[in-house]
Each structure stands twice: as C-alpha cells, then as structure tokens.
Amino acid sequence: MVFQQNGSGEKKINGLRKYGKDLFDLEVINIDGMLPLVLDDSSAYLPDDICCDLVLDFLRHSDLSADLAERCMKKDIPVVASGKKIVGKKAIMPPTCCGLPRLDGLGSYGEYFGAPEFEVEIEDGKISAVKVLRGAPCGASWEVAQRLIGHPADDAARKIGLETQFYCYADPAGWDPIYGKSPVHFAGKIHDKQLRKAIAKVLALL
C-alpha cells in the first residue's frame, strides 16, 4: 500500500510499475488538497483498516506519517518512510529510497528496490553492458545505467554519480547532518560507490 500526498510519490509509483513489472499488487492512497499545519486527528485522511504486506510512505505531512507508522506498528506491517524522522515509531527510515539496505521482511520490494546493485561487462576498457540487479524505485538506477554504455570504465562511477543527481526526485534543499549531504548528493554517492564495487569485481577477473 502506497501513501502519497498531492502526487508526492508519483514518480516512484511509476518506477515500481515499470521496473517491478508484475511483482507487486499496488494500492495507492491519495491524500490531496490543503491540510492544516497541525493534525490532531488523522482519521479523516487515513483508512480505518490497513491490510497489506508493506507500506510505502511518500506523505509530506509529518503528523500523517507519524499516525500512519503507529497504525502499521500495531498491525506489525513494515513501513518504509525514506527521508523521514518519525520519533518513537518503528518505521524504516533510510536517507533516500536508494539508501534502503537489504532487510528481512520487505518481500519483493526489498529484493529489487533500495541501495543499487549492478553487474557490468567491460570491453577494451569501456562499459559494454550494465545490468541493474536492484535500484531506486524512482527508476534513476536503470535510466543512468544505460548512459554508461561505451563510457570508459575508469570514469563510469563518477559519471553515474553525477547523472543520478539529475534523475533523482529527492528534495535537493534537504540536508542531513548525520550523512553531511543533501538527499540528492547521497543518491549520487551511493550509485557511485555501488558501481565501483561492480567494476572492481570485473577487473579482478581480468
């Protein structure tokens, strides 16, 4: 079940449908319109009963996210709330959608979406093929991977890090004091890091 507010998760929902193919049965809950700054009671906006294997929280209102996490916690439903800071709740809160590590209990979503994983082929010092094993739900991992074909392998990690920042839909104005980066910079850095691992694995066999 996916919760979004005024289209806030649309790019990621589209990415899930495109790159998740037939792995998911998505139910999207849209909460639109203007909301008060403080919501003492969210019952008018959240469904009375949440029945699913996993909740993705793309909401913008912190009170909605907090109440959603509490409802899911009572039903033992995992919640992925990327970029959120929900105090006292058991939501999974990676800095970005592409910062989600592999965790138990997240089913096919956790298998195919989160921190990127790549397989590459190199010919004559250039990237000849890239397979995305796991990527960002917004689709950035797949989009930028295709732009590496024919690019020098020794510069490919820098390129994917830069290209990811153009495709990333996270708020570039946000700044995480723990990681010392904005979400967009974090996304670029993790793609850079993960591609370096894939390239190093191939070069070790050459």
Segment 120-153, tens digit of pLDDT: 999 999 999 999 999 999 999 999 999 999 999 9
What pLDDT sits at residue 136? 96
Give the three-class secondary structure for 203: helix
My answer on whether 138 and 177 are in the same domain is: yes
My answer on whether 71 and 25 are in the same domain is: yes
Domain that holds residue 22: 2-93
Q: Are 61 and 49 in contact (CB under 8 A)?
A: no
pTM for the structure as a whole = 0.90
Residue 104 lies in a domain: no
Residue 123 lies in a domain: yes
For the chain, what's the residue count? 206
Residue 143 lies in a domain: yes
What pLDDT sits at residue 168? 80
CB atoms within 10 A of CB 159: 18
pLDDT in tens, 150-202: 999 999 999 999 999 988 877 656 555 555 668 889 999 999 999 999 999 99
Q: What share of the chain is helix, strand, coil (3-state, %, to 5)?
A: 35, 15, 45
Tokens for 68?
């959603």
Residue 59 pLDDT greater than 60, yes or no: yes
HSE of 154, CA atoms in CB hemisphere, 13 A: 2
Tokens for 116?
């990127």
What pLDDT sits at residue 177? 56
What pLDDT sits at residue 167? 84
Number of domains in the chain: 2
Residue 127 lies in a domain: yes
My answer on whether 143 and 189 are in the same domain is: yes
What pLDDT sits at residue 171? 64
The H or E element that residue 197 is part of is helix 183-203
Whether the CA torsion 11, 55, 107, 93 is positive or negative: it is: positive
Q: Angle of helix 153-167 relative to helix 183-203, nearest 10 degrees? A: 160
Residue 21 lies in a domain: yes
My answer on whether 71 and 137 are in the same domain is: no
- Cα(161)–Cα(146) distance, rounded to whole angstroms? 13
My answer on whether 84 and 121 are in the same domain is: no
My answer on whether 8 and 89 are in the same domain is: yes
Q: Please name the amino acid found at residue 34.
A: M
- Cα(167)–Cα(134) distance, rounded to whole angstroms? 16
What pLDDT sits at residue 29? 97
My answer on whether 10 and 83 are in the same domain is: yes
What pLDDT sits at residue 205? 85
Residue 103 lies in a domain: no
166 or 206, higher pLDDT:
166
